[in-house]
Amino acid sequence: MSDLIVIGAGLCGLIAAYTAARAGKQVKIVTKGLGATHWHAGSIDVLGYYPDDATPVMRPLETLHDLTRARPQHPYAILDGTLSDALENFASLTRELGLPYAGAPNSGDNLWLPSPVGAARPTFPAPRAQLAGDLRRAAPMLIVGLRGMRDFYPELIAENLSKQGQRARAAFLPLDLITDRRDSNTAQLASALDDPTRRAKLAAALKQLAQPGERIGIPAILGMDAHAAALDDLQAQTGAAIFEIPTLPPSVPGVRLTNALRNHLRQLGVRVEINADVIGFHAEKDRVLWIESDASGRPLKHRAEKFLLATGGILGGGIDSDHTGKVWERVFDLPLAVPREREQWFRARFFDPAGHPIFRAGVPVNREFQPIDAQGARVYANVWAAGNLLAHADPILERSLEGLAIATGIAAARRAVK
């Protein structure tokens, strides 16, 4: 019997479990598979664009006041201004994990970092290895790819950056500098650079390519387990500022963060039941007594005092839909705030600055982060919800995915264990 079961192992679930475990609770994570952290860029988006008109946000914590006033149902509004505390908590956790995160030099500003196609993406704290890519810095950029590596095109990145007024040029190095394999994905390349001799070869080649004063952007493969040492070595050996550009999945910065968090949770005694797809539950009156996950024989029961849902939204699998227009929450079939008709799911234009209504679908919660029904009444006394599952936010459009995951994960877990 656990004090708290967290359902979902994305960033939100991991952070929620961490928060509860640190409060001395017996915590278990039950998850279908591994979470979205494997395809996220590793940096923490807090608020990049204002919803409705998609204006870029320069100082997210300040703009947040406007947002929460205009949208009192937005999950950020329920936090009661504890977002910066949550981010500070996360930052200190990352230092403890040996994967330190930091923000823009002018504190409170969004960072603007290059995406895998050279677009500028607004984000708030980012892993140390991404900071030198901030596009508001003046130093020219050398974007280096590895010939034969899939899905990373330095010329495309440099060209797109140049069109945005950046000074950027592209260069290639041979892939066999870092691996003998004929074919590798980014995670395998990152593991190859855990080897100091491999990265010394890479550093020597980069030094040859770079001109004085240039900062060097490389795909985010700079070590997996020995990432910190890899970054330090490469900067010391090239004498240049190095920055990682996140890649298509598997996204190594996301994998590093997941691995570090999971190792840490293990040390805190948190068991992660992976491959446990929740297919049922049992409630008496207003309390959930257990959930059941799919198994080879009979469903596996997981009992707990309290349950915290961090299963994600439509993209993450916490919410499902079908062709008839039915939309449902997958674990407890909780009431959803969702467009009534399927015709109202989408706006006509794909890139409509106001986004698509269906992506704001989610579980409405009260100020305690407990799911409520249409009348505002709490559904279960011992269920909490957090992250992308929550209604009234469009994290992809707002670029608020990780900020929401962390802040609501911490907030919901604190309320659940208090």
Output the smallest distance, CB 319 to another protein, in A. Answer: 14
- What residues pair up with 278 in beta bridges, in sequence order? 293
Total residues contacting another protein by CB under 8 A comes to: 38
Interacting span for another protein (CB under 8 A) from 115-123, 286-294, 361-369, 393-401: 286-294
Map residues 230-249 to x or -, x wherever contact with another protein holds by CB under 8 A.
-------------------x
Residue choice 107, 296, 324, 375 for contact with another protein (CB under 8 A) = 296
| Token code pair at residue 312 | 């994600």
Residue choice 274, 354, 377, 381 for contact with another protein (CB under 8 A) = 274
Map residues 188-217 to x or -, x wherever contact with another protein holds by CB under 8 A.
x--x--------------------------
Helix/strand/coil for 374: coil
Site for another protein in 135-154 (CB under 8 A): none
CA distance 203 to 160: 26
Is 310 a residue that touches another protein (CB under 8 A)?
no
Instruction: Write the CA distances from 367 to 38, 51, 219, 265, 380, integer angstroms.
Output: 30, 22, 41, 27, 14
CA angle (49 as vertex; 46, 51 as ends), nearest 5: 105
In sign, the C-alpha dihedral spanning 169, 172, 177, 182 is positive
- Decide the pairing of beta strands 215-219 and 141-147: parallel
Is 185 a residue that touches another protein (CB under 8 A)?
yes
Helix/strand/coil for 321: strand
Is 328 a residue that touches another protein (CB under 8 A)?
no
Q: Which is nearer to another protein, 317 or 409 (CB)?
A: 317
- Cα 274 versus chain centre, distance: 19
Output the smallest distance, CB 13 to another protein, in A. Answer: 12
Q: In sequence order, which residues have a C-beta less than 8 Å from that of residue 326 and are 6 or more positions away? A: none
Instruction: Write out the residues near another protein by the rule CB under 8 A.
Output: 32-36, 38-39, 181-185, 187-188, 191, 249-250, 255, 266, 271, 273-277, 279-280, 292-300, 316-317
